[in-house]
C-alpha cells in the first residue's frame, strides 16, 4: 500500500504512525517542513532512509506550495493520505482533497472544539476559517484521536458518521525502566513550558513544599521555554533557593531527543501538572482528556512510567491504575513523602505502569485496527 503522511509539527505522534504503517510491502512518503525534519532524523537515526521524504519549500508562496503538494499527491496516487496535523489553510486542503476524490483520507483531530466548534466572529478571516474547516470535514474519510478518552465527545460531533480511530500518540518501547527509590525521587515534567498546557506555578509550589519538608526531590523541566511566560518560569527556577530539591531545566530552543529519552528513562514518575480547562486556536475552550489530550501521557506510556496527575484529569482507563492523583501541591508532597519512606509502594506502581503500557505495543495497535494497517 502506498501511504502519504503529512506532518509539520507533531513529529512524535507522526513517528508512531510511520512505524505502525511500516510493515509488509507498504511504501511510505512523509511530507514535512525544514524545521521538523531534523527531529525525525533524531528519532529514526539510520532508519531515516527507509522512507521517502518531501520537505516543504518555505521560500515560495502559499499557493505555489499547495500546487506542488497537489501535483505530488496526484502523481503518486496514494491509496491512503494520513493528515496528522492540519492547523491552518483548511479550505486549501479541502479543495486539494476534493480534486483527489477516490483517495482514502484520515485526519487526526488534536483539538475537537477547534475543528467542530469554531469561534462566532463575523470577520472575513473567521468566516473563511469556519468554511474551510467545514469543507475539510466533508472531504476526509475518517477521523483519528490520540486518546480513547476523546472518542465519546468526537462521536457527538460526528454528524457525517465518519469512521473514527484512536491511534495512540506513542507506543511502548520496552525500555530499561525498573527504577527503585533510593535516596531521592526523580520527577520529570515533559513538554514545552507554556501556560496554556501546564500549571507551572503548582510545580514550583510543590518544590517549595518539598524543600520545607526536607523531601529530596529531583525535578526536571524537560522542555523549552517557547514564549515570555516560559522564560519567566526559568528565571524563577534559577532564583529559587533549594537545598533538598535539585532542579534541572534547559535554556535551549529544543531538548535533543537523546537527552529527552535519557531523562524519562531515569525518572521515577512522569509529573503532569496539566491544565484541565484551556484554550486552543482562536481562543476556543478545550478540556484536556475530553476534547484534546496531552502528549505527556504518551511520553509516559513510551517509557512505561507511573504518572502524577491532577485529580480531575481524564486519562485512558487502562492506565488509571498507575496514576497517582492529587488535589493540591500539599497533598502531592504528602503522597511523595509516603513513597520516599516506603520504597516498596513505588515498586508496585512501577510494575503496574510497565504492565499497563504493554497494551500499547505496535503489534496490539495494528491488531486492533487491521482494516487501517493492512
DSSP of 312-330: T----GGGGGGEEEESSHH
Closest CA to 316 of 150, 135, 144: 150
Please tell me the predicted confidence (pLDDT) of residue 282: 81
Count structural domains, the chain: 2
**pLDDT tens-digit series, residues 334-354:** 999 999 999 999 999 999 999
pLDDT at residue 195, rounded to an integer: 93
Same structural domain for residues 227 and 153?
Answer: no
Q: Is residue 161 located within the same domain as residue 191?
A: no
Give me the pLDDT at residue 280, please.
85
Q: Which domain holds residue 284?
A: 185-359
Tallying the residues shown for the chain, one arrives at 374
pLDDT confidence of residue 269: 98
Please tell me whether residues 189 and 323 are part of one structural domain.
yes
Query: Has residue 107 been placed in a domain?
Result: yes
Confidence at residue 117, expressed as pLDDT on a 0 to 100 scale:
83
Greatest CA span in the chain, whole angstroms? 65
Task: Evaluate whether residue 276 is within a structural domain.
Answer: yes
Residue 66 lies in a domain: yes
Do 161 and 217 fall within a single domain? no
Cα gap 324→316, rounded to integer Å: 14
Of the chain, the percentage scoring pLDDT greater than 70 comes to 99
The answer to whether residue 373 is domain-embedded is: no
Residue 150 and residue 205 in one domain? no
Can you tell me the distance from the alpha carbon of 352 to that of 286, in angstroms, rounded to the nearest whole number?
30
Same domain, 139 and 243: no
Q: Are residues 106 and 192 in the same domain?
A: no
DSSP assignment of 57-78: -TTS-HHHHHHHHHHHHHHHT-
Check: CB of residue 289 under 8 Å from CB of residue 299. no
51 inside domain: yes
Indicate whether 96 belongs to any domain. yes
Mean pLDDT estimate for the chain: 95
Write down the pLDDT at residue 120. Answer: 66
| Domain match, 117 and 195 both | no
Q: What tens digit of pLDDT does each residue of 90-128 get? A: 999 999 999 998 899 999 999 999 999 876 677 788 889
- The predicted-structure confidence for 221-273, as pLDDT tens digits, reads as follows 999 998 999 999 999 999 999 999 999 999 999 999 999 999 999 999 999 99
Same domain, 307 and 203: yes
CATH number reported for the structural domain that contains residue 218 in this entry: 3.40.50.2000
350 or 24, higher pLDDT: 350
Q: Please state the rounded mean pLDDT for residues 166-176.
A: 91
Say yes or no: 199 and 133 in one domain: no
> 149 with 231, same domain?
no
Percent above pLDDT 90 for the chain: 90
Residue 164 and residue 275 in one domain: no
Residue carrying C-alpha cell 480547562:
277
Amino acid at each position: 500500500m502506498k501511504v502519504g503522511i503529512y506532518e509539520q509539527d507533531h513529529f512524535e505522534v507522526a513517528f508512531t504512525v510511520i512505524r505502525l504503517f511500516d510493515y509488509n510491502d507498504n511504501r511510505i512518503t512523509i511530507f514535512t517542513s525544514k524545521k521538523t525534519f531534523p527531529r525525525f532524523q533524531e528519532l529514526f537515526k539510520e532508519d531515516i532512509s527507509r522512507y521517502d521524504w518531501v520537505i516543504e519549500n518555505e521560500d515560495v508562496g502559499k499557493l505555489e506550495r499547495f500546487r506542488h503538494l497537489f501535483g505530488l499527491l496526484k502523481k503518486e496516487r496514494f491509496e491512503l493520505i494520513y493528515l496528522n496535523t492540519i492547523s491552518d489553510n483548511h479550505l486549501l486542503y479541502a479543495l486539494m482533497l476534493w480534486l483527489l476524490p477516490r483517495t482514502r483520507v484520515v485526519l487526526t483531530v488534536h483539538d475537537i472544539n477547534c475543528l467542530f466548534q469554531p469561534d462566532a466572529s463575523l470577520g472575513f478571516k473567521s468566516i473563511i476559517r469556519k468554511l474551510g474547516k467545514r469543507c475539510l470535514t466533508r472531504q476526509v474519510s475518517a477521523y483519528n484521536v490520540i486518546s480513547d478518552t476523546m472518542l465519546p465527545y468526537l462521536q457527538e460531533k460526528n454528524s457525517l458518521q465518519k469512521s473514527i480511530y484512536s491511534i495512540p500518540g506513542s507506543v511502548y518501547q520496552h525500555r530499561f525502566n525498573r527504577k527503585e527509590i533510593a535516596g531521592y525521587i526523580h520527577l520529570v515534567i515533559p513538554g514545552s513550558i507554556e501556560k496554556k498546557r501546564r500549571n507551572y506555578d503548582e510545580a514550583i509550589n510543590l518544590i517549595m513544599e518539598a524543600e520545607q519538608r526536607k523531601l529530596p526531590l529531583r525535578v526536571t523541566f524537560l522542555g523549552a521555554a517557547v514564549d515570555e511566560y516560559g522564560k519567566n518560569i526559568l528565571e524563577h527556577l534559577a532564583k529559587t533557593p533549594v537545598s533538598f530539591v535539585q532542579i534541572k531545566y534547559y535554556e535551549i530552543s529544543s531538548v535533543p531527543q537523546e537527552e529527552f529519552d535519557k531523562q524519562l528513562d531515569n525518572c521515577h514518575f512522569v509529573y503532569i501538572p496539566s491544565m484541565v480547562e484551556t484554550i486552543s486556536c482562536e481562543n476556543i475552550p478545550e478540556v484536556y482528556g475530553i476534547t484534546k489530550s496531552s502528549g505527556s501521557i504518551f511520553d509516559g506510556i513510551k517509557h512505561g512510567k507511573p504518572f502524577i496527575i491532577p485529580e480531575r484529569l481524564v486519562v485512558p482507563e487502562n492506565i488509571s491504575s498507575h496514576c497517582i492523583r492529587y488535589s493540591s501541591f500539599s497533598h502531592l508532597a504528602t503522597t511523595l513523602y509516603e513513597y520516599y519512606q516506603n520504597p516498596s509502594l513505588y515498586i508496585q506502581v512501577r510494575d503496574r505502569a510497565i504492565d499497563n503500557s504493554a497494551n500499547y505495543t505496535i503489534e496490539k495497535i495494528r491488531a486492533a485496527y487491521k482494516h487501517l494497517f493492512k
